[in-house]
Structure 1
C-alpha cells in the first residue's frame, strides 16, 4: 500500500487526551464495490490546470435556491486560483469571478478553497443572501452578495477591504500557507447572529468567526474562539500513532457542515475521521467514525513525495471511509430527519450518517456516483459536495446533489481536468432506501 502524502490514515478511537467515549461499533456496510450506484443528470464544463486565465481546479459547491423562481436557482462553486464559477441548473456557467491577485509580486495569489451560504443576512441596504468563501491564498474570507438578476452576474463582492487574515500575523506567514482552508457557515437561531467556521491548512485548528455587517455595506468578520483537534492518538494496543504527513504538517480539517437543528458541527479531519462538536466550539469533540487506514504506521519519503507504510495494518481502522474524508454536507428530509453525507475520497464513494446525536450518528448506508454514458462520467476522488432537499422546478423537483469530480473524463489534449456533477436527489434516496 502506498499512502498519499496527506497520510490517508485514521482512527476508530477517540484521542485519550479528550477523555471521550469510544467510537460506536456500528453495523458494517456492504463492501464499497457493492454499494448502490446513481448517475448524474448533468455536468459542468471541465476546469483545467492550465486555463488561459490561470490555474483552475474544481473543489467545493454550494446550492442557492431562488425562492421566487426555483428553476432559476444557482450552484456557486470554487475553482481555487480560478476563483468562483456560478452555474444554472443545466450546469451551464453564468458567471466567472476571478480570485484576487497577489498582494505584491512574489506573494501567493488568491486561492478559493471552500464556499458556503448565508441567508437573509441583515445589511444596511436590507436583507441579503451571501456566498462566503475561504481564500486560502490570502488567509481571508471573501463575501459575495447574491442577486440573481443583477446585470453582469449574480455575485457582487461585498468583502470588507479591511478584513484581517484569519490565522496569519503578516504576509510572510500567509506565504507559508498555513491559511484558511475548509469552511462552513451557521446562523444561531437564538441570537440571529451568523458565523463561519474555518479550518487551517496543515494544522488541526478550527476557528469560529462572527460575520459582521459594516456601515458602508461591506461584510467582515471577527474571531470568537478556536479549537484544536488532536494530532496524535492512542491505539487499542496501547501504542501511540500520528497520521503521516510532510515534515511540519498536521492532519488538517476541510469538509465541515453545521446541523442548524441542534447547532452541531461535523468536521472531517482528512486522515482521521468525522468529529462532532458544538458549532460554538465550546464542547468536547466526539469522533463518530474513522477511515480504514487508522493506525497504519507510515513515514514520509522525500524522494517519492509519498507516505510509505513502515509496518503492517494493525486492523484498528474503520470500515466505511477511505481517506481522505472530504465533502461533508447535510441532507435534511421533509419530516426533519436526515443524514450527514461525507465523501469517502479514497474509494470514490459517499457515506450517510443519521443526524440523531442520541443514536450516536449511526451509519445508514452509502452509494457511488457512476457514469451515465461515455461522455457523462461519474465522480472520482470527490473533494466537495452540496445537497438541497427542496423543489428546484421541473429539472429537480425532489432536490439536487452536486459533487466535485476530481478526474473529469474524457481527457482532452492530455490536460488534467476537474468539474462538478449534478445528481437528482430522488435517485440518491431511492438507491439508499433500496
Structure 2
C-alpha cells in the first residue's frame, strides 16, 4: 500500500472508527470501576527467568505459543522464542522440558540465529503422518524454522524438520542479512477452504509483511515459497492538513511484530508498533484498515542522537487513540465473541496493560499483576491464548504472556520470562465479576 493520498484516506477512516468506539465506550465497567482503572489478573505459574548476557546464552524471552496434547491435555506444552537462546519448551507447571538452540553464525563476522516469534501449524502433512509443527521466525538468518511436536517424547518433544535449502525471505545475501532487515514477526495458519498452510511474516525496520505458503519437500522436510508482499504506510495525513511519521532510529520505518490470523475469515491483524493495529483482508489482498491507534499517534518527535531516544518536538494534536500506549506488541485471539466469533487481545507495552477488541471495537482490558507468588507482566512483548481445556491445571484454557522485567535474585542482569494465566480469570475480569 502506498503512502501519501492513500494514507490520508486510511487515516480518515481510522479516525471515524476510533471516534465511534470512544463514543460508545462505557464510563465504567460492569463492576462500577471508573473507566481507565483496569482490573488485574494474577498468574498461576511463571517460568524461570532467562538472561540476555553471555552467561545466559543471550536468551531474551519474546513470544509464546501453546500446544494442546489431545491425548493427554495435562501434558500440553508451551513453546517460546528466546531469541539467540533459541526455543524453550515448558510444561503446564512452567518447568522447562527442552531447550532448542538457534543456528550458529555462518561466519565469524555474521550474527547467529535469533528466534524472534513462534506459532503453531496443526495437522501439517509429514511423511510420518499429520503432525503439529512449531514455526519460528529466525531474524538472524532471515528464514523460518520448523519443529515437529511429539507429545509422547517429553524429554525432547521438538524435532527439527526444516529444509536445509529453505530460502531467505526478504534478503538476497548474507551481507544483506547482516544489515538486520530480516524476518521478524510471525503468524501461522491453515486455510480452511483449501487445507493449505501459511505464515505471515514481517520485516524488521520496515513496514513490509509477506505471505508464505508452507510446503513439504520430497525428502519430507518443510520449506516455503513467497506468495506476495505488502507494505503498510510509514507516513500519515493528519486532519486539517500536514502529515506525521513515527519517530524511530535513523533509517528505520515503523515495523510490525505482533500478528495473528483469524482462522474463520483469514483476516490478518498486525500491530505496527508505534502506530496501531491494522486489519488486513485474507491473503494480504485488499486494503488494510487501521483499527485503532496508539496514544502517541500524531505526536511530533525527533531522534536524539545523544540519548539514542525519540523526544517530543511539539504539541499533541489529539488524534491518537486512548487504549494503547506504544509499542503495540503481542496479538492473540480470545474465544467467546458474539455469535461464536473471536476477540482480539493486544499487549499495550507502554503502560503494561492488555486491550481486548470485539468486532473492531474496544471491549475491555486488564493487567497481569503480582500475586505474592509469581510477579506480574511488564512491557509485554508477546502473548498467546488457547481456549480449550488443558487438564487439571487450566481446565478453562490458558493465556501465556511475556514479562519484560522478570524478578531474578540477581537484579543486575537483564531478565525476562513468561507468566501462565488461567483463562477463566481473564474472562471473569472482562465480565466484571472480579477486581
TM-score for the superposition, normalised by structure 2: 0.93
Q: How does 1:2-401 map to 2 (within 5 A)?
A: 15-16=7-8, 18=10, 21-23=13-15, 24=17, 25=19, 26-27=21-22, 28=25, 34-50=37-53, 52=55, 54-150=57-153, 152-333=155-336, 336-354=340-358, 356=359, 361-373=360-372, 375-401=373-399
Give the whole-Å Cα distance in 1 for the aligned partners of 2:315 and 2:377: 30
Aligned length: 416
- Equivalent residue for 2:31? none
- Note the C-alpha offset of 1:410: 4.4
SS at match of 2:284: coil
SS at match of 1:15: helix
- The 4+ residue runs of structure 1 with deviation greater than 4 A are 17-20, 28-33
- Note the C-alpha offset of 1:326: 0.4
Does structure 2 conserve the Cα–Cα contact (< 8 Å) formed by 1:187 and 1:260?
A: yes
Does structure 2 conserve the Cα–Cα contact (< 8 Å) formed by 1:14 and 1:287?
A: no
Give the whole-Å Cα distance in 2 for the aligned partners of 1:172 and 1:270: 26
- The superposition leaves residues 286-344 of structure 1 with CA deviations (integer Å, 9 ceiling, x where unpaired) of 01101000111011011100001111111111000000000000111286233100000
- The superposition leaves residues 260-285 of structure 1 with CA deviations (integer Å, 9 ceiling, x where unpaired) of 11110000000000000123011100
Task: From 400, 403, 425, give the equivalent of 1:402.
Answer: 400
Does structure 2 conserve the Cα–Cα contact (< 8 Å) formed by 1:352 and 1:363?
A: yes
SS at match of 1:60: strand
- Note the C-alpha offset of 1:237: 2.3
Give the whole-Å Cα distance in 2 for the aligned partners of 1:169 and 1:279: 27
Give the whole-Å Cα distance in 2 for the aligned partners of 1:222 and 1:32: 46
SS at match of 2:177: helix
C-alpha RMSD over aligned residues: 1.7
Give the whole-Å Cα distance in 2 for the aligned partners of 1:207 and 1:69: 36
SS at match of 1:431: helix
Does structure 1 conserve the Cα–Cα contact (< 8 Å) formed by 2:11 and 2:237?
A: no
Give the whole-Å Cα distance in 1 for the aligned partners of 2:408 and 2:159: 34
SS at match of 1:22: helix
- Equivalent residue for 1:8? none
- Structure 2: which 5+ residue stretches go unaligned? 29-33
- Equivalent residue for 1:9? none
TM-score for the superposition, normalised by structure 1: 0.93
- Structure 1: which 5+ residue stretches go unaligned? 1-12
Give the whole-Å Cα distance in 1 for the aligned partners of 2:154 and 2:48: 23
SS at match of 2:201: strand
